[in-house]
């Protein structure tokens, strides 16, 4: 039956387009904004190493599993899980995995959009020459001015949500294909330009050492590194699954997954190499938190030749990268509404977009009027704001949990005959995948969870 299924939402034109779209989903604020700041907060070196290990041993196998499930189910993650459980004659309860994914995507987008708003406002700040010859203190106060102003944050957040709704309403294909084909390679080129600037600061090797010299790490940091591997590859909530559902049956899933993960990792490492030399050259704090890129990169733009132009283009591209990711965060929910409620894409996008926008206000306020309102959950976290709690719950708990069950479903619930049909283009690769998803990936996720709460 899986062979005859067809997605009602359309299909990617070819394999390259799928890879570009999935890379567009993967490469986003996670690589350029989040990776450097969490690496900074967690001491660099070992954190980066754990993150890379998680990409290879947990991320890649789960990405293959997600694409496979999506391609077989050919529907939104909720209906895909229901359909596959039925195909395999298993418990229909597996559908909850789809629901958790939709919820996680919704929660992530609510804060993702606020941060994308920061990037948008920085296009104009840089363009207005605000950073010419700026000092570290100067960039700091410019950043603080922005985030302490709820009205401005709300305006940018609103604009970004509207942009996302428009593309999703038009349908994944027309919207996404074009953006990623041209813009991602350019983003890559600009990151390299900033890395070259960072080499000229004279502190490049300090940055390299910070990122790659192993040191101490605790269970909580390991959980954050693993959570980030899920976040950065868009795994664990059905985004890649839904993109897989628009993929034709004739393409190799393994090859595509490796390319996507590789591109994503290279962008994150380049971002780290761009940012940390500037941090050390200017006596900044690597653990500065979510503002890190906004407090470092403008220094580069304010001092390099043609920096204003480079800066404007860079932040514009960052907004595009965020945009192509944001789309994949609500696509599962929109696809579900279209499939089950008989509404059109426009209606579905507007409603889900509006709800997301509303929850996003909590993140807007986390940096100003609700800054002091924090939550502590024993064994898990202390003193987190609304934004931090959402980030923690989604990236460190919901995504790894979703990924764990996706791996278990693919490896243990689906019959080997079915998974072979999808993945056995290279038999040796299939064997590795099967071993990883059956044992290594689930165990790794469980061990990291237990370590983070101090059980082991």
CA distance 165 to 163: 6
Per-residue tokens: 51: 């993150």
Minimum distance of ligand TRP from residue 317's CB (angstroms): 13
Per-residue tokens: 415: 């019959």
Give the residue with the Cβ less far from ligand TRP, 31 or 42. Answer: 31
Give the residue with the Cβ less far from ligand TRP, 73 or 302. Answer: 73
Minimum distance of ligand TRP from residue 103's CB (angstroms): 12
Give the residue with the Cβ less far from ligand TRP, 31 or 419. Answer: 31
As beta bridge partners, residue 404 has: none
CA distance 292 to 143: 10
Per-residue tokens: 119: 């990037």
Give the residue with the Cβ less far from ligand TRP, 100 or 130. Answer: 100
CB 223 within 8 A of CB 444: no
Minimum distance of ligand TRP from residue 320's CB (angstroms): 12
Give the residue with the Cβ less far from ligand TRP, 18 or 131. Answer: 18
Give the residue with the Cβ less far from ligand TRP, 31 or 75. Answer: 31
Minimum distance of ligand TRP from residue 399's CB (angstroms): 6
Minimum distance of ligand TRP from residue 332's CB (angstroms): 9
Give the residue with the Cβ less far from ligand TRP, 30 or 353. Answer: 30
DSSP 12: -
Give the residue with the Cβ less far from ligand TRP, 234 or 257. Answer: 234
Give the residue with the Cβ less far from ligand TRP, 31 or 385. Answer: 31
Give the residue with the Cβ less far from ligand TRP, 9 or 228. Answer: 228
Minimum distance of ligand TRP from residue 38's CB (angstroms): 12
CA distance 54 to 52: 5
Bridge pairing between strands 375-377 and 381-384: antiparallel
Per-residue tokens: 130: 């605000």
Of 277, 286, 297, nearest in space to 206 by CA:
277
Tell the residue number behind the tokens 């509303």, with chain if given.
358
Minimum distance of ligand TRP from residue 66's CB (angstroms): 10
Binding site for ligand TRP (CB under 6 A): 25-26, 28-31, 105, 108, 231-232, 234, 237, 239, 325, 328-329, 399
Minimum distance of ligand TRP from residue 274's CB (angstroms): 16
φ, ψ for residue 425 (rounded to 5)? Answer: -60, -40
Minimum distance of ligand TRP from residue 36's CB (angstroms): 12
Minimum distance of ligand TRP from residue 331's CB (angstroms): 9
HSE of 175, CA atoms in CB hemisphere, 13 A = 22
> In angstroms, how far is CA 142 from the centroid of its own chain?
26
Minimum distance of ligand TRP from residue 295's CB (angstroms): 19
Q: Residue with the closest Cβ to ligand TRP? A: 30
CA distance 429 to 439: 16
Per-residue tokens: 331: 């696509």
As beta bridge partners, residue 384 has: 375
CB 211 within 8 A of CB 45: yes
What DSSP line would sit under 151-165, residue for residue? HHHHHHHHHHHHHHH
Per-residue tokens: 173: 């294909």
Close Cβ partners of 430 (under 8 Å, ≥ 6 residues apart): 419, 420, 423, 424
Give the residue with the Cβ less far from ligand TRP, 164 or 232. Answer: 232
HSE of 42, CA atoms in CB hemisphere, 13 A = 26
Close Cβ partners of 256 (under 8 Å, ≥ 6 residues apart): 15, 18, 19, 22, 67
CA distance 389 to 31: 20
């Amino acid at each position: 039956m899986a062979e005859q299924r067809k997605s009602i939402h359309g299909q990617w034109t070819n394999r390259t387009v799928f890879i570009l779209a999935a890379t567009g989903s993967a490469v986003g604020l996670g690589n350029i904004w989040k990776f450097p700041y969490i690496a900074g907060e967690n001491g660099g070196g070992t954190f980066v190493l754990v993150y890379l290990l998680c990409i290879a041993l947990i991320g890649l196998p789960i990405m293959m599993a997600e694409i496979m499930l999506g391609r077989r189910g050919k529907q939104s993650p909720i209906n895909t899980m229901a359909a596959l459980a039925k195909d395999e004659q298993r418990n229909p309860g597996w559908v909850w995995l789809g629901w958790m994914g939709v919820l996680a995507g919704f929660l992530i987008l609510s804060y993702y959009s606020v941060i994308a708003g920061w990037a948008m406002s920085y296009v104009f700040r840089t363009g207005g020459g605000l950073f010419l010859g700026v000092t570290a203190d100067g960039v700091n106060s410019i950043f603080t001015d922005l985030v302490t102003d709820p009205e401005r944050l709300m305006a940018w957040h609103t604009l970004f949500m509207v942009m996302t709704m428009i593309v999703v309403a038009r349908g994944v294909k027309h919207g996404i294909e074009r953006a990623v084909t041209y813009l991602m390679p350019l983003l890559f080129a600009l990151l390299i330009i900033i890395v070259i600037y960072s080499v000229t600061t004279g502190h490049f090797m300090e940055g390299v050492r910070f990122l790659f010299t192993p040191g101490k790490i605790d269970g909580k940091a390991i959980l954050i590194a693993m959570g980030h591997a899920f976040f950065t590859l868009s795994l664990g909530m059905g985004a890649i699954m839904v993109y897989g559902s628009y993929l034709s049956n004739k393409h190799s899933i393994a090859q595509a997954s490796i390319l996507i993960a590789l591109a994503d990792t290279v962008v994150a490492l380049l971002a780290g190499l761009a940012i940390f030399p500037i941090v050390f050259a200017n006596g900044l704090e690597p653990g500065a938190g979510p503002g890190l890129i906004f407090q470092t990169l403008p220094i580069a733009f304010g001092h390099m030749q043609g920096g204003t132009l480079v800066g404007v283009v860079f932040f514009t591209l960052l907004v595009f990268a965020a945009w192509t990711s944001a789309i994949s965060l609500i696509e599962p929910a929109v696809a579900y509404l279209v499939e089950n409620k008989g509404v059109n894409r426009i209606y579905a996008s507007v409603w889900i977009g509006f709800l997301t926008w509303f929850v996003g206000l909590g993140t807007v306020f986390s940096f100003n009027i609700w800054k002091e309102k924090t939550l502590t959950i024993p064994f898990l976290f202390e003193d987190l704001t609304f934004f931090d709690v959402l980030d923690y719950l989604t990236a460190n708990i919901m995504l790894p949990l979703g990924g764990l069950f996706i791996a278990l479903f693919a490896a243990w619930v689906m019959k080997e005959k079915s998974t072979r049909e999808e993945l056995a283009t290279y038999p040796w690769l299939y064997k590795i995948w099967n071993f990883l998803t059956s044992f290594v990936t689930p165990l790794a996720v469980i061990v990291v969870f237990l370590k983070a709460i101090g059980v082991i």
